[in-house]
Structure 1
Amino acid sequence: NSLGEHIKEASVGDAVEILGFDKVPDVGIVFTKGGKAEAPVSVREESIPPQNPEGIVSLTLAAETQGALEAIVSALPTGAKLVSKKTGEITTADVLFAKSIGAIVLGFNVKIRPEVLKLAATEKVLVKNYKLIYEMLSEINDVIEGKELSMQEEIYGVAKILARFPYEKTEVLGIAVTDGRVAKGDKARIVRGDEVVGEARITSLRQGKEQISKVETGEEAGIIITPFLDFTIGDMVICHG
């Protein structure tokens, strides 16, 4: 309760904290206990049919916190049809669900594993993560207005960082391409486990002393990224458009 005490029941008007939900209920949701006294609490939430009439964009939304989720939902523009919302990372299940109903997948400050991005590219499902709410809302408006290209992100290749070498005032990332290709000029996202370290651009690509334009799956090379990011051996480099 509000005094920090463990209690077995609460009366009308009492403020309490309840643990045990599989997911965080939305603000304003009414939940009831039905049937026997030991029956689990059920959360009632209105389902939204996955329809895509002209001028309407269906989207699924994931946010880091419940507060951020509610703030985004309340600010969605007319023409944005929310078919799914949750807190936590974007998963392969989210991508497949969006694929089945023709929706886009948007995240706010959440984790997206490399395999999820790869699946999204294969299934041609738009997945994008944001750090600023206003940028998300602005790009949702762009999509509603038909400016779909402004949100497209294509995954070109994935590489693993195997080594690091000092070079002048920066460092070279020794990489091995595990999927696709890596090219000079690509945008590069450094991923460590479930965390995104940062975004940069590949400004130099070499094999030995030779400057090259790209490397393919199975090849190794050295790259320089700008701006420099605090990478470690074992991090993944995801090249995207």
Structure 2
Amino acid sequence: VLVVAADDGVMPQTKEAIDHARAANAPIIVAVNKIDKPEANPDRVKTELSDLDLAPEAWGGKTVTVDVSAKKRENIDLLLEMILLVADLGELKANPKRNAAGTVLEASISRGRGPVATILVQDGTLRVGDTFLAGTVVGKVRALINDRGQKVESATPSTPVEVLGLGGLPQPGDAFQALPNASKARQIANLRQTQAKERELDSKGPRLTLESLQEQVAEGNVKELSIIIKADVQGSAEVLADTLTKLSDEQVKIRIIHEGVGAINESDALLASASNATVIGFNVRPDRNAREVAERDGLDMRLHSVIYNVTDEIKKAMAGLLEPTIKEVRLGTAEVRETFKVPKFGFVAGCMVTEGLIARSGDAHARLLRDNIVVHEGRIGSLRRFKDDVNEVKTGLECGIAFERFKDVKVGDVIEAFTVEEVAATV
């Protein structure tokens, strides 16, 4: 269903969505939304869509088009009827009585729940207790969570759900299936793991060392930039790896030697040290052991939250045009021990400063980490010791911290204080 706003019309992302649908050979139903707005112009939208070969049926075309208002729920039932009609005409059918099969949409690690995969059931019915196989990952379905955050016992065709109980993280795009035999599922997973390792070994080039890199640069030969990627979710890691690999040119070849999900750990740092690689963290932070290795070995770690900034930085590095970069100076961390509401001050996190100091004056910034994944970044609005406002709190002391315009703080979260300074580029 292609949703187009009746007031905005066809946007660049609309054309991109049309291209994706056509590449997948998927039928398109157009929902012209926001027809309740005074500036809405559905006819203009239909004209623009006709220019993209999506002429509505009412105009003699072949595209089912429905004018709707999600806000007022106008024509929603008609849209649902059109979806069913197109499905019937295209004979889009599934058998809910067979074992489930479908596609993994996303995967991530969740605190207290472990590996979690968001999947779309395309055939059959997935039930709690089923043996689940996706790519090289096998597990037993411990729980199914629907799109409303509710636990369900089963998921029928065309149902997106989160699956808990996996033994690892499958890759987005992996096909999954429910198998009646757990031992058979493990055999298939082991075979796929062996095949994946063989492919990885075959694809690896010679190991890059500092000596060989300097020799290649001095002789003007092809240079390699080795990169390790860690992200908050698997989808982001894959997009980054694919995007950066495509930046390779005749002078510099970009080689992704590892990509993964979760905080940058000691193993990542040691790998970067051994292979002279740059570590890119997307919405994640290094843990304490990784920071120690990075400081000891002088590793280059780049931490970002916008994919465009990553690609832009690498492009400039390849062209030798890197401008002075912003380097973070870590001030300290505090662990959230309790959360409560204080009259006149609102939501406050009761914390213990575990390292360095927490400051709110000057150019100090702070970020909230949950499992070393960045949840929020901003400034501290209130820092208190008992009833007194203070500018900083040192290691071993308790304090109350409140972010400016942010309240989603939980027990166990970590608040990291830092400042930024400009340094010469080193990539």
TM-score (norm 1): 0.69
Report the CA distance shift for 1:126/1:175 in structure 2 as closer, same or farther (over 3 A): farther
| Equivalent residues in 2 for 1:9-20, closer than 5 Å | 19-20=135-136
Tell me what 2:273 maps to: 99
1:11-34 deviation digits (Å, cap 9, x = unpaired): xxxxxx984389989xxxxxxxxx
State the shift of 1:100 in Å. Answer: 4.1
Tell me what 1:176 maps to: 352
Asked if the contact 2:243–2:311 (Cα under 8 Å) also holds between the matched residues in 1, the reply is no
State the shift of 1:145 in Å. Answer: 2.6
Larger Rg: 2
Report the CA distance shift for 1:20/1:171 in structure 2 as closer, same or farther (over 3 A): closer
Asked if the contact 2:245–2:256 (Cα under 8 Å) also holds between the matched residues in 1, the reply is no
Which amino acid in the other structure matches residue 140 of structure 1? I
Asked if the contact 1:163–1:174 (Cα under 8 Å) also holds between the matched residues in 2, the reply is yes
Q: Which residue among 147, 150, 155 is the counterpart of 2:323?
A: 147
1:197-226 deviation digits (Å, cap 9, x = unpaired): 221212332212322221221111122212
Report the CA distance shift for 1:141/1:153 in structure 2 as closer, same or farther (over 3 A): farther
Q: Does 1:134 align with 2:250?
A: no
Structure number with higher helix proportion? 2
Asked if the contact 1:113–1:193 (Cα under 8 Å) also holds between the matched residues in 2, the reply is no
Report the CA distance shift for 1:91/1:99 in structure 2 as closer, same or farther (over 3 A): same
* Unpaired stretches in structure 1, ≥5 consecutive residues: 6-16, 26-39
Report the CA distance shift for 1:96/1:117 in structure 2 as closer, same or farther (over 3 A): closer
Secondary structure (helix, strand or coil) at the match of 1:154 reads: strand
Tell me what 1:209 maps to: 387
Q: Does 1:60 align with 2:227?
A: yes
Secondary structure (helix, strand or coil) at the match of 2:347 reads: strand
Structure with more contact order per residue of length (Cα contacts < 8 Å, sep ≥ 6)? 1
Secondary structure (helix, strand or coil) at the match of 1:145 reads: coil
CA–CA separation in structure 2 for the residues paired with 1:74 and 1:24: 23
Q: Does 1:197 align with 2:378?
A: no
Report the CA distance shift for 1:59/1:155 in structure 2 as closer, same or farther (over 3 A): farther
Report the CA distance shift for 1:203/1:83 in structure 2 as closer, same or farther (over 3 A): same
| Equivalent residues in 2 for 1:220-231, closer than 5 Å | 220-231=398-409
Report the CA distance shift for 1:227/1:145 in structure 2 as closer, same or farther (over 3 A): farther
State the shift of 1:146 in Å. Answer: 4.0
CA–CA separation in structure 1 for the residues paired with 2:390 and 2:415: 18
Which amino acid in the other structure matches residue 258 of structure 2? K
CA–CA separation in structure 2 for the residues paired with 1:206 and 1:88: 35
Percent identical residues: 23
State the shift of 1:228 in Å. Answer: 0.9
State the shift of 1:227 in Å. Answer: 3.2
CA–CA separation in structure 2 for the residues paired with 1:129 and 1:182: 21
CA–CA separation in structure 1 for the residues paired with 2:324 and 2:411: 36
Tell me what 2:187 maps to: none
State which drifts further: 57-66 or 199-208: 57-66
Asked if the contact 2:269–2:294 (Cα under 8 Å) also holds between the matched residues in 1, the reply is no
Tell me what 1:28 maps to: none
Asked if the contact 1:160–1:236 (Cα under 8 Å) also holds between the matched residues in 2, the reply is yes
CA–CA separation in structure 2 for the residues paired with 1:121 and 1:204: 32
Asked if the contact 1:206–1:223 (Cα under 8 Å) also holds between the matched residues in 2, the reply is yes
CA–CA separation in structure 2 for the residues paired with 1:67 and 1:46: 20
Tell me what 2:259 maps to: 86
Q: How many residue pairs are counted as aligned between the two chains? A: 216
CA–CA separation in structure 1 for the residues paired with 2:389 and 2:350: 14
CA–CA separation in structure 1 for the residues paired with 2:340 and 2:170: 45
State which drifts further: 120-129 or 226-235: 120-129
State the shift of 1:180 in Å. Answer: 1.5
CA–CA separation in structure 2 for the residues paired with 1:219 and 1:115: 20
Asked if the contact 2:358–2:392 (Cα under 8 Å) also holds between the matched residues in 1, the reply is yes
Q: Does 1:161 align with 2:336?
A: yes
Secondary structure (helix, strand or coil) at the match of 1:47 reads: coil
Asked if the contact 1:200–1:229 (Cα under 8 Å) also holds between the matched residues in 2, the reply is no
